[in-house]
Structure 1
Amino acid sequence: MPKLLLMDHDGGIDDLLSLLLVLTMPDVELLGVTVTPADCYIEPALESSYKLLQLTGHEYIPLGRGDYAGINAFPSEWRARPDIINALPMLINLPKAPDPYAYPAAPDLLIDWLTQASDKVTILLTGPCSNLVLALEKAPELADKIEQIVWMAGAFTVSGNVQTYQHDGSAEWNVFWDPVSTRKLVEWQLPLTFIPLDVTNHVPVTKAFLSKLATQIDYPLSNLAGQFWALTLDTIPGYYYTYFMWDILATSYLAMPEQFKTQSVRMNVSTRPPNAGQTYLDEAGYAATIVTDVNVENFYEYLLTQFKR
């Protein structure tokens, strides 16, 4: 029986690649997609999401609009990337996407989908967790319908990737955007697996990988994925930042968990400066699973294989 999945993403290039990867997974039934306006402006990100569903024949999968604005905004130049995605040759001439203001509210859709699901549901988060927390606060009984939460978030034994004012650099962006909701989520004590920077730091977007992917240009998904990843090379200035396969690594965990090493821990999260959003090990904290390592070669090969579909 396929794994029932709900996905919440925040519109970045890595998020959209993750959606594309989910759509190649034969053992996953994607029930719905919600979008958080964190690493994106919501309107173009909804359009990008719809275009990918349309391109792959999945436009029947419902989309939900997140309107919660978070606490610490992503840089605006990062958030603008979906506009570029929508102009790529394989997407620009697709039929017009629906009105971005007509989509239902993301938390309400999560409630509806969990209520109607025939079995327990896995939730994949590649952005902040705010929509899920808002849904659980509104319908706490639905926590029992969650099989597992897989979340690309956190930094436990490595430095964070937040570089901004009044911050010490210890946090990862998906947590930093809304550390209060993160604290609420871990307090629920649901089966939560973090895919943190500790492991995503092992999988940068390299030109060697992009070169291999380019040899598959005759496969439409490989062609599109290559265009997506090529856009990451100047997303943020390379002299102080590297673009990693953050979200797509978390997504691949759904398909090949045996390629990852995990650790059961007690952890906590700070909600105040100067380390707002820091996730840290804490023996008096909350139970969670963190992924600590991955078979890097098998991961890259998996991506090359999936984008041949």
Structure 2
Amino acid sequence: MPKLVLMDHDGAIDDLLSQLLVLTMSDIELIGVTVTPADCYIEPALESAYKLLQIMGQEHIPLGRGDYYGINAFPSEWRARPEIINALPMLINLPKAPDPYAYRSAPDLIIDSLSAASDKVTVLMTGPCSNLVLALEKAPELKAKIDEVVWMAGAFRVSGNVQTFQHDGSAEWNVFWDPISTKKLVELELPLTFIPLDVTNHVPVTKTFLSTLATQIEYKLSNLTGQFWALTLDTIPGYYYTYFMWDILATSYLAMPEQFKTEVVKAKVSTRPPNAGQTYLDETGYTVKIATDVNSEYFYEYILGQFKR
């Protein structure tokens, strides 16, 4: 029986790549996708998400629209990427996507999807956690329907990737966008697995990887994902950041958990400057699991294989 997965992402390039990756997993049934308006503008991001469902012949999977905006906005130039994605040659002429204002609200779709699920559900989050927290505040009994939450978020024993005013650089962006919801999620003590910067720092998007992917260009998904990843080379200026496979690595955990090293720890979340959004280890904190290492060679080979279908 396939594993039931509900995905919440925030429309950036690596989120959309992650949505595609989930759709290639034969032992996964994706029961819904919700989009958070964090690292995206929501309307073009919903169009991108729908077009990827079309590419995979999965338009029946419901999409939910997040309308909650976090505390600390992502830079606008990062958020505009779905506009470019929708103009890529393999996507621009697909049938028109539905009205972006007609979608169900993301928290309501999460509630309905969990309620209707025939078995426990794995929740995959590659953006902030706000939609899930809003859903569980409205229907707390649905905590019992969640098998595991896998979340690309946090930085525990490494520096964060937030560099902005009134901040000491200790936080990761998905947490920083909405530290208060993150604190609430951690305090729920769900079966929560963080895929933090501690492990995503091991899997950069390299030109060697992109070159290998390009040798598979006759395969539709390799061609499309190669175009997506090529757009990351100037998304974050090279002198400032490296683009890593943040969300793709978190998504791969669904298929290859045995390739990760994990650790059960006690942790807390800061909600105030100068370290708002910092996830830190604290023996008086809440129980979570964090990934600390991954078999990166196996991971890269797995990704190349999945996009060769």
2:249 alignment partner in structure 1: 249
Aligned to 1:120: 120
**AA aligned opposite 1:299:** F
Q: Partner of 2:93 in structure 1?
A: 93
Deviations 1:249-284 (A, max 9, x none): 000000000000000000000000000000000000
Query: Deviation at 1:213?
Result: 0.2
Q: Show the counterpart of 1:34.
A: 34
**Unaligned stretches of 5+ residues in structure 1:** none
Give the structure-2-normalised TM-score.
Answer: 1.00
How many residue pairs get aligned? The number is 309
Tell me which amino acid in the other structure corresponds to 2:261. Answer: K
**1: CA distance, partners of 2:163 / 2:44:** 25
Q: 2:17 and 2:139 mapped to 1: Cα distance?
A: 30
What's the TM-score once normalised by structure 1's chain length?
1.00
Report the Cα distance in structure 1 between the residues aligned to 2:199 and 2:236, rounded to whole angstroms. Answer: 21
Give the secondary-structure state (helix, strand or coil) at the position aligned to 1:5.
strand
Task: Specify the SS of the correspondent of 2:184.
Answer: helix
Q: Does 1:287 align with 2:290?
A: no
**2:16 aligned partner, one-letter code:** L
Structure 1 match to 2:278:
278
Rounded Cα–Cα distance in structure 2 between residues aligned with 1:4 and 1:287? 24
How many angstroms apart in 1 are the aligned matches of 2:214 and 2:80? 25
Counterpart in 2 of 1:105? 105
Q: For residue 154 of structure 1, what is the aligned residue in structure 2? A: 154
Alpha-carbon offset, residue 297 of structure 1? 0.3
Aligned to 1:191: 191
Per the alignment, residue 234 of structure 1 pairs with: 234
Q: Which runs of 5+ in 2 are unaligned?
A: none
Letter in 1 for 2:86: N
Displacement after TM superposition at 1:236 (Å)? 1.3
Quote the Cα distance in structure 2 between the aligned partners of 1:151 and 1:34. Answer: 14
- Classify the secondary structure of the residue corresponding to 2:30: strand
The two structures, once aligned, show a CA RMSD in angstroms of 0.3
Distance in 1, Cα, partners of 2:166 & 2:86:
35
For 2:172, give the aligned amino acid: E
Q: Following superposition, which runs of at least 4 residues in structure 1 exceed 3 angstroms of deviation? A: none
Q: 3-state SS of the aligned residue for 2:193?
A: strand
Percent pairwise identity? 83
Query: 3-state SS of the aligned residue for 1:190?
Result: coil
Deviation at 1:300, TM superposition (A): 0.1
Q: Distance in 1 between matches of 2:177 and 2:59?
A: 29
